[in-house]
């Protein structure tokens, strides 16, 4: 991946291969006592080399890529993830496989570094963020889910880094994060800062629209968006809702000591899954877990407690189960797709 694209992006970090654990943790355990009520099911195998988000721990303060690294089709039959064929491969490719088991995955991209895949509502297309070797920018791209190799570059005319795409309910618009870098110099020493905002592109007209400052959008039926916004005072990520018609922004979830990102709306529109940071006895013990909250901000609860990172949550079509990427069950701390039933 191009070195420029590996710079920290505030709370956003571009996708990187599964982190090598630096803590003395037994990642091989499947669950911990706090998760006693859930039965964990492993969907993928470790030899598939699935990529998760880079997570950087600086004295207990976590930074991570706030977009999702995999998705589940609306019919619940397939999942799409970022993976590679060898541990030293520098670019991640898009793979599609069944949620029902088996080990067969179909590689859908070649020669383009990919992140943030998302199925269209009808499951026929996959949208993702793609970067060709030698480029200093990433584009929102789209491919057919099952056939062909043609890649559409939808935001090629825009500058900056385009990540974390999601479709509107009708599949006609794609919402995404756009990051722009600004570099200043103190003497000969460069200092780069990034700003992020939510954009959309109409697939039919190619018209782009800018909305609000933030990242990792999630379309909510009724012309609304969930998104992640960094609090400039606490430097923690928060979950907000934007009404696309009125422009009104509503705070859903905030904590002065925890950061949240990657909101995902339930099929019935009543609950939100998200990623959140948790602390431990030592700064090195800080990690990421999956949380759930009602759309009005009530009913907040932590779903996972594993000392490894749990990220990129996704709902099953009936809202009774969730899928997510986790380092659990792997002695190396590698990521795999797991699921749990949250309605018993």
Report how far residue 342's alpha carbon sits from residue 323's, in angstroms, rounded to the nearest whole number: 10
Neighbours of 62 (CB within 10 A): 22
Report how far residue 95's alpha carbon sits from residue 25's, in angstroms, rounded to the nearest whole number: 29
Query: Within the chain, which residues score under 70 in pLDDT?
Result: 1-23, 101-103, 344
- What does the DSSP 8-state code read for residue 20? P
The residue count of the chain comes to 344
Q: Are 138 and 164 in contact (CB under 8 A)?
A: no
Question: For residue 314, what pLDDT is reported?
Answer: 98
Task: List the beta bridge partners of residue 162.
Answer: 178
- What does the DSSP 8-state code read for residue 60? T
Question: For residue 1, what pLDDT is reported?
Answer: 41
- Buried-exposed string 274-308: b where 16+ CB fall within 10 A, e elsewhere: bbbbbeeeeeeebbbbbbbbebeeeeeeebbbbbb
State both tokens at 231: 């609090």
Question: For residue 17, what pLDDT is reported?
Answer: 38
Look at the block and give the residue holding tokens 């990421």: 288
Question: For residue 172, what pLDDT is reported?
Answer: 96
C-alpha atoms less than 13 angstroms from C-alpha of 43 in its C-beta half-sphere? 27
Question: For residue 134, what pLDDT is reported?
Answer: 76
- What does the DSSP 8-state code read for residue 269? S
Cβ-based burial of 76 (10 A; exposed 0-12, middle 13-18, buried ≥19): middle
The SS3 assignment for 25 reads: coil
Q: Are 272 and 293 in contact (CB under 8 A)?
A: yes
Q: Are 82 and 15 in contact (CB under 8 A)?
A: yes
Question: For residue 137, what pLDDT is reported?
Answer: 85
State both tokens at 136: 């200093």
Question: For residue 111, what pLDDT is reported?
Answer: 86
Backbone phi, psi, residue 265, to 5°:
-80, 140
**Domains of the chain as residue ranges with CATH:** 3-341 (2.120.10.30)
Question: For residue 212, what pLDDT is reported?
Answer: 97
Question: For residue 292, what pLDDT is reported?
Answer: 98
Question: For residue 164, what pLDDT is reported?
Answer: 96
pLDDT tens digits along 43-76: 998 888 899 988 898 888 889 999 999 999 999 9
Question: For residue 14, what pLDDT is reported?
Answer: 38
C-alpha atoms less than 13 angstroms from C-alpha of 62 in its C-beta half-sphere? 26
Task: List the beta bridge partners of residue 239.
Answer: 228, 253
State both tokens at 68: 């999702």
In sign, the C-alpha dihedral spanning 48, 49, 53, 56 is positive
Backbone phi, psi, residue 41, to 5°:
-120, 125
Q: Are 174 and 167 in contact (CB under 8 A)?
A: yes
Report how far residue 118's alpha carbon sits from residue 82's, in angstroms, rounded to the nearest whole number: 11
Measured CA to CA in angstroms, residue 278 lies from 34, 71, 195, 259, 260 at distances of 14, 24, 25, 8, 10
Question: For residue 61, what pLDDT is reported?
Answer: 87
Based on C-alpha coordinates, what's the Rg of the chain?
19
State both tokens at 184: 């200043």
Report how far residue 236's alpha carbon sits from residue 254's, in angstroms, rounded to the nearest whole number: 8
Task: List the beta bridge partners of residue 55.
Answer: 64
> Of 36, 34, 12, whose CA–CA distance to 278 is shortest?
34
């Amino acid at each position: 991946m191009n070195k420029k694209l590996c710079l920290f992006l505030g709370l956003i970090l571009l996708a990187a291969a599964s982190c090598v654990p630096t803590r003395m943790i037994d990642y091989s355990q499947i669950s911990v006592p706090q998760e006693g009520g859930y039965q964990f099911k492993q969907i993928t195998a470790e030899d598939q080399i699935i990529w998760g988000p880079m997570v950087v721990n600086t004295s207990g303060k976590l930074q991570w890529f706030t977009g999702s690294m995999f998705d589940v089709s609306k019919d619940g039959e397939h999942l799409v993830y970022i993976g590679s064929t060898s541990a030293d491969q520098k670019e991640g490719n898009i793979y599609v496989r069944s949620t029902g088991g088996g080990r067969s995955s179909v590689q859908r991209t070649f020669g383009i570094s990919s992140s943030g895949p998302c199925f269209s509502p009808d499951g026929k297309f996959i949208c993702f963020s793609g970067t060709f070797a030698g480029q200093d920018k990433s584009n929102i791209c789209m491919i057919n889910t099952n056939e062909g190799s043609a890649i559409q570059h939808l935001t090629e005319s825009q500058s900056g880094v385009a990540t974390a795409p999601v479709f509107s309910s009708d599949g006609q618009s794609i919402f995404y994060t756009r990051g722009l870098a600004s570099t200043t110099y103190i003497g000969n020493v460069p200092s780069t800062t990034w700003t992020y905002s939510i954009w959309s592109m109409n697939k039919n007209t190619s018209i782009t629209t800018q909305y609000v400052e933030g990242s990792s959008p999630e379309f909510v039926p009724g012309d609304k968006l969930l998104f992640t916004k960094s609090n400039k005072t606490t430097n923690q990520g928060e979950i907000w809702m934007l009404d696309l018609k009125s422009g009104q922004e509503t705070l859903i979830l905030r904590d002065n000591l925890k950061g949240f990102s990657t909101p995902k709306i339930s099929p019935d529109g009543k609950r939100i899954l998200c990623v959140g940071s948790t602390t431990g006895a030592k700064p090195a013990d800080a990690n990421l877990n999956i949380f759930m909250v009602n759309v009005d901000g009530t009913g907040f609860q932590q779903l996972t407690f594993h000392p490894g990172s749990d990220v990129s949550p996704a709902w099953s079509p009936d809202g009774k189960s969730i899928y997510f990427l986790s380092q659990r069950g792997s002695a190396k701390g590698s990521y795999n797709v797991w699921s749990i039933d949250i309605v018993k």
